[in-house]
Amino acid sequence: MLYLVPTPIGNLADFTFRGISVLKEVDHILAEDTRQSSRLLRHYDITTACTSFHSHNEHRRLSTLIEEMTDGKTMALISDAGTPGISDPGFLLVRACIEADIPVVSLPGPSAFVTALVGSGLPCDRFYFEGFLPHKKGRATKWQKLSQCEETMIFYESPYRIVKFLNECIENCGPDRMICVAREISKIHEEYIRGSVSEVHADLSSRPSIKGEFVVVLAGASNSNI
């Protein structure tokens, strides 16, 4: 049996009761980064054995993990923060479990993109999740396609590239397209910066330093003046 367990994206109080009890009860926790997860596990007094499962070893570990779960071992997959599989490892393991007839239980819980989308004030009846844009190859072509996208779009971005992202957004979607940049969701310095792309760009680029984690929610081409 494999459980997919979302973990808090900042505020430890956002962990669900069910998430905590599953992590206490399974035989083994697979964590993207065991050191990163140890703070959360200690906070909730979770003493279950924990090993690493990340993008560099997921292919290698797959067959052993499937054998162990076939033999009856229960496992829970967690990522550093949020929902496993969303811009994080998970998909390969879930697919392998399904192919091996191992039950997969996906728990509801925190994910940065849903929280940002709902708080953005932009339409959330239909949306397109992009996650991280490719750094170089294919980025320009991707922007051309995205500029035509009718639905609200969601991106993950780092503090080092957020201003570059907004510059590209102005070039491809125009300065008046509405946008919301959600920074440090659920943490002490949480903020939602809303406005036209040029307004949000002016705000962020005037800051002496840009820190934290970012989700960008961009209005679709059909909602450009909402």
Residues that bind ligand SAM (CB under 6 A): 9-10, 79, 81-83, 86-88, 111-113, 156-158, 182, 184-187, 213-215
User: Least distance (Å) from ligand SAM to the CB of residue 14?
Assistant: 10
User: Least distance (Å) from ligand SAM to the CB of residue 81?
Assistant: 5
Closer residue to ligand SAM in complex, CB, 182/204? 182
Measured CA to CA, the distance from residue 184 to residue 173 in angstroms comes to 25
Closest CA to 153 of 161, 171, 165, 138: 165
User: Least distance (Å) from ligand SAM to the CB of residue 69?
Assistant: 22
Closer residue to ligand SAM in complex, CB, 184/199? 184
Measured CA to CA, the distance from residue 49 to residue 46 in angstroms comes to 9
Which single residue brings its beta carbon nearest to ligand SAM? 82
Burial of 117 (0-12, 13-18, 19+ CB in 10 A): buried
User: Least distance (Å) from ligand SAM to the CB of residue 101?
Assistant: 26
Closer residue to ligand SAM in complex, CB, 133/197? 133
Closer residue to ligand SAM in complex, CB, 96/180? 180
Closer residue to ligand SAM in complex, CB, 49/188? 188
Whether residue 95 contacts residue 166, with contact meaning beta carbons closer than 8 Å, is answered with no
Residue 5 vs residues 89, 98, 110: alpha-carbon distances, Å = 12, 17, 9
The residue type at 153: M
User: Least distance (Å) from ligand SAM to the CB of residue 90?
Assistant: 8
The residue type at 36: Q
Measured CA to CA, the distance from residue 4 to residue 110 in angstroms comes to 12
Q: Report the SS3 class of residue 97.
A: helix
User: Least distance (Å) from ligand SAM to the CB of residue 29?
Assistant: 16
Closest CA to 114 of 103, 127, 101, 100: 127
Closer residue to ligand SAM in complex, CB, 174/192? 192
